[in-house]
Structure 1
């Protein structure tokens, strides 16, 4: 039975032979880049082990991608991070005992299993407007002490809000300049893709791949659109960067 991922692994790997593969963003960057390589696929036991440690079942499109396409490698931007055990750089070993996952379950929930609440970005923006300003306080030592005390409280709350923005998500790829793409694992937005742009203070925002469309982008939408664009770029001769000449003038 065909799935949404039928033939996708083969299409990605075929791009290694395309004449213009280096034109695709992220495929080659100095001595690195994903170079249209894919990690091996995982088996059901490996995916299930990773899910136990994350504390949540993966959205189906991403889950089947791991089983049918690969556990990381070529993809949008600088490629896909490996699907790894939390805090490691390797995929879960199916032979490992379940004791570690069970121990985690007895404690607090992993961040990936907490509710993803995109409205936290608005909360962070609102909190930004409350930042204490030294100019609003008097010049006395008492007033300056009050400023620093209230600023420390404000700053602590900022850190808490910012840290919680990606609860309930899995970091999928790096866009560069400390921007990341994350997949929502929980909540009403489960299965959709989000830009983590906290590096510039903009929080976590929905991925947009169709102009200003408000439609949410799922993992399959995101990956397959990238693949179609990559195939076009890698197989077709690049256009003159100056663009076509306007002969009407």
Structure 2
């Protein structure tokens, strides 16, 4: 998406702030608050620290709209400058590995790192509780080492959470740069690109503006 029109976003979000928060999912989390945008010098410092240029639509959003706040689900993780270092904060914002954002995200199709793992141990197969507990501990140590290996999410930054540890992220490096992906590893479903009705990839701008359109429709719908 090019030549994105961000100029009405803050006005539309302000209008939505008069909506009862239970009308739009996640509004209790962000309360329709948009933080100030970044100044160009701040964006330049951020990208210098990260060693990567962010996708153009997200860059323009940061400069023209906001550094975080009201957005899909429970809102956009806000950018903070703490002790001279920029980073994303919030419930999952710290999952973004700042030192690997310039490394190419290695995937171009849905993948589930936990798919090849064995089944969890069955307590009926053990003679004692202690033996089962040891086997279960070993299984979950293996599971977490495989399913949550940081190599799966290099080149991505986490932008929002949906609750229950489901999150969505923006790819900033590699062949999928500029596309939004879902991290559903919380229920062992792995990772997958967000897609439109015809299977097309979803950019940050489309992801955000589609949410804004849905929120506007939900806010204007008859109360249930």
Q: Shorter-normalised TM-score: what interval?
A: 0.7 to 0.9
Question: 1 CA distance for matches of 2:120 and 2:164?
Answer: 29
Shift of 1:160: 7.9
Kept in 2: contact 1:26–1:78 (CA 8 A):
yes
**Structure-2 residue corresponding to 1:56:** 52
Question: 2 CA distance for matches of 1:113 and 1:70?
Answer: 23
Shift of 1:3: 3.9
Of 136, 152, 165, 1:165 maps to: 152
Question: 2 CA distance for matches of 1:13 and 1:156?
Answer: 44
Kept in 1: contact 2:105–2:155 (CA 8 A):
yes
Kept in 1: contact 2:112–2:191 (CA 8 A):
no
Shift of 1:162: 2.8
Question: 2 CA distance for matches of 1:52 and 1:216?
Answer: 28
Kept in 1: contact 2:36–2:66 (CA 8 A):
yes
Give the ranges of 4+ consecutive aligned residues of structure 1 lying more than 6 Å apart after TM superposition. 131-134
Residues 68 and 88 from structure 1, CA distance in 2 versus in 1: closer, same or farther, beyond 3 angstroms? Answer: closer
Q: Which consecutive residues of structure 2, in runs of 5 or more, have no partner in the other structure?
A: 91-97, 123-134
Of 178, 187, 192, 2:174 maps to: 187
Residue 209 of structure 2 corresponds to residue 224 of structure 1: yes
Q: Which consecutive residues of structure 1, in runs of 5 or more, have no partner in the other structure?
A: 91-108, 135-147, 241-249
Shift of 1:21: 4.6
Q: Which has the higher strand share?
A: 2
- Size of the aligned set, in residue pairs, is 201
**Structure-1 residue corresponding to 2:187:** 200
**Structure-1 residue corresponding to 2:14:** 13
Residue 102 of structure 2 corresponds to residue 113 of structure 1: yes
Deviations 1:170-205 (A, max 9, x none): 110111100111000011110000011111122221
Question: 1 CA distance for matches of 2:149 and 2:11?
Answer: 39
Larger radius of gyration: 1
| Other structure's SS at 1:124 match | coil
| Other structure's SS at 1:17 match | coil
Question: 2 CA distance for matches of 1:74 and 1:81?
Answer: 9
Residues 74 and 123 from structure 1, CA distance in 2 versus in 1: closer, same or farther, beyond 3 angstroms? Answer: closer
| Other structure's SS at 1:37 match | coil
User: What is the aligned-residue RMSD (CA, Å)?
Assistant: 3.3
Shift of 1:118: 2.0
| Other structure's SS at 1:165 match | helix
Residues 224 and 64 from structure 1, CA distance in 2 versus in 1: closer, same or farther, beyond 3 angstroms? Answer: same
